[in-house]
Amino acid sequence: MTPRDTRMAPRDQDLPHTHVRAIRTSTKANAVYQEVRRLIIEGGLEPGSTLNQEVLASDLGLSVTPLREALRGLEAEGLLRLSAHRTITITPLTLSEVEDLYAVRLRLDPWAAGLAAQHASDEALENAARLAAATIETSAGEALGLNREFHRAVYSAAGNEVLTKTLDQLWTQTDRYRFILLSDDDDAQEAALEHLEITKALQSRDRAGVAKLTKDHVERALALIRQVAGD
């Protein structure tokens, strides 16, 4: 990722065979959606690169039909663009997009966490605590999914369905950037410790406290992304 508004130069790319897990399932469209999404999030398909739908289908052991269905879902998430010529372009990473996404998250994540402290059931708080504890024991390479599970457990407990759906979309769009951070063991561990502090405030029903901790948590992530982008 490069400084603000600077994009990686697109280039043609064959799917890296070392990163591919062949699709062997009856729900092929969903399976290929998950596999291609993983490749995009983890950088196996590089930001700004292009590839052909037929080549991708062949590498995944699929026909083009379930692939196209999956790609439409990924396009809706903003992870790729489809052309009329069956070319797929992986959406570039840009610092300007990060700034826009985190500007909204800095408003909504703390608000949702505060609402969760007020409205969450005891069962929901126990689930958040379990996930926070699990992130401490998770390696950096496996942290992305668990990190998202924890935060979703918090904001979905806020009792506002529209807010939950909005944050779901924002988190989907920031997955690629968060993967960069959580690939570092020290950063992943620091995030996990912050999850524990957020959980303690939730369990104390400290609405203002959990909102501040969550805001600090999101600000720290943004600062680290800015740092990586400037390297």
The answer to the question of residue 165 being in a domain is: yes
Q: In angstroms, rounded to a whole number, what is the distance separating the alpha carbons of residues 60 and 31? A: 10
- What Rg, from alpha-carbon coordinates, does the chain have? 19
Residues 213 and 141 in one domain: yes
Q: In angstroms, rounded to a whole number, what is the distance separating the alpha carbons of residues 196 and 130? A: 10
Range of the domain at 120: 95-230
The answer to the question of residue 6 being in a domain is: no
Spatial neighbors of 141 by CB under 8 A, at least 6 apart, are: 183
> Which one of 18-27, 77-86, 107-116, 133-142 scores highest in mean pLDDT?
107-116
Please give the average per-residue pLDDT across 63-86, as a whole number. Answer: 87
The SS3 assignment for 23 reads coil
Q: Over the chain, what is the mean pLDDT?
A: 85
Residues 39 and 150 in one domain: no
Residues 107 and 196 in one domain: yes
pLDDT the model gives residue 2: 44
Residues 194 and 168 in one domain: yes
pLDDT the model gives residue 9: 42
Please give the average per-residue pLDDT across 131-154, as a whole number. Answer: 85
Report CA torsion sign: 172, 95, 97, 55. negative
The answer to the question of residue 10 being in a domain is: no
Please give the average per-residue pLDDT across 163-186, as a whole number. Answer: 86
Residues 75 and 141 in one domain: no
Q: In angstroms, rounded to a whole number, what is the distance separating the alpha carbons of residues 107 and 178? A: 18
Last residue of a domain, one of 62, 90, 118: 90
Lowest mean pLDDT among 38-42, 113-117, 176-180, 195-199: 176-180
Domains: count for the chain: 2
**Comparison of pLDDT for 48 and 22, the residue scoring more:** 48
CATH label of the domain that carries residue 64: 1.10.10.10
Predicted TM-score (pTM) of the model is: 0.77
Q: How many CB atoms lie within 10 A of CB 10?
A: 14
Residues 136 and 195 in one domain: yes
Both structure tokens of 172: 């989907």
Spatial neighbors of 44 by CB under 8 A, at least 6 apart, are: 15, 16, 19, 38
pLDDT for 20-45, tens place per residue?
554 444 467 788 888 898 888 888 88
Lowest mean pLDDT among 39-43, 60-64, 111-115, 204-208: 60-64
Please give the average per-residue pLDDT across 154-178, as a whole number. Answer: 92
CATH label of the domain that carries residue 128: 1.20.120.530
Residues 133 and 21 in one domain: no
